[in-house]
């Protein structure tokens, strides 16, 4: 039963971080890539797919699983908020 709880926690973590990263990538794409290069806006599903691809390309190993897992989750949430906030501020000058 303990392994099932770990599995569900990891699965929820992957889903939450994927949606957050995809949303931030989507907004940054919309604010900077679309007007600069006249490209089409992305959908959330496409942005999440790109985030998965980038994550796959920079695979890391972890010895202390839970410590690394929760620190990465917190880092993703905080950095996504900062990046989105500063991207929004920069987009106000265009």
pLDDT of 63 reads 64
CA distance 62 to 77: 19
Is the pTM higher than 0.85? The answer reads no
Instruction: State the chain's mean pLDDT as an integer.
Output: 86
pLDDT of 4 reads 86
DSSP character at residue 39: P
Domain ranges of the chain: 2-91
- Per-residue pLDDT 10s for the chain (94 aa) are 678 888 888 889 888 888 999 999 999 999 999 999 999 999 999 999 998 888 877 765 656 777 777 888 888 889 999 999 999 998 888 7
């Amino acid at each position: 039963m303990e392994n099932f709880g770990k599995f569900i926690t990891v699965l929820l973590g992957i889903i939450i971080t994927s949606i957050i990263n995809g949303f931030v990538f989507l907004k940054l794409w919309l604010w900077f890539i679309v007007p600069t290069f006249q490209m089409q806006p992305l959908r959330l599903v496409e942005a999440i797919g790109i985030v998965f691809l980038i994550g796959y390309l920079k695979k890391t190993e972890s010895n202390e699983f839970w410590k690394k897992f929760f620190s990465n989750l917190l880092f993703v949430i905080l950095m996504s908020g900062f990046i989105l906030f500063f991207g929004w501020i920069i987009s106000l000058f265009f």
